[in-house]
Structure 1
Amino acid sequence: MVRILNLGDAPRPVFRIIREKRATFLQTPAEVARRPGCETTWSNLLLAGDWTDTGLPATLEGSVRSGNTAAAKALSGCPPCLTIRPQRVHKIN
């Protein structure tokens, strides 16, 4: 890695690799079946997080997928006038 990055004799920071066996919950079929989707019984409440049903383990990637799914679902029911658009910044004198 030092040669690939062409670091030469530069001092290296101290590091340590940590493996945590309990970082995610056990992905048994029973536990996966308990994970909720993004929709709830309330039309104005959606769930997002690594613990929801994303098709991925409870990881950062699962969180991102969950957030994207909930955002897409929220925007799919919006009338065109309520969709999110970039706003212009107006200077106040």
Structure 2
Amino acid sequence: MTDDLEARIQATEQALRAAVERAGAFVSGDGRVHEEVAAPLLGIAPGTLANQRRAGTGPAFYRVSGRPTYRLRDLAETIERGRCVPGW
């Protein structure tokens, strides 16, 4: 099950990176994006992501020069760990 989760996280990270690149958004060398880019990838508004960050319930983040940034890997992990399978 762990290998399956890891494979899904990697696939989702690749899909997120491709979406960001298609949109022409900046991705740092270590795979971080700004909040305004991260939120739509999760299907939420930037304000909602900011609220989650302040409440400690959102994905892991970094604060660089005062601005929060999110690793695509952490966003992918948030998405995949939230996966629900009917009947389980």
- More helix per residue: 1 or 2? 2
From the CA coordinates, give the structure whose radius of gyration is larger. Answer: 1
Normalised by the length of structure 1, the TM-score is: 0.23
Normalised by the length of structure 2, the TM-score is: 0.24
Relative contact order, higher structure (CA 8 A, sep 6+): 2
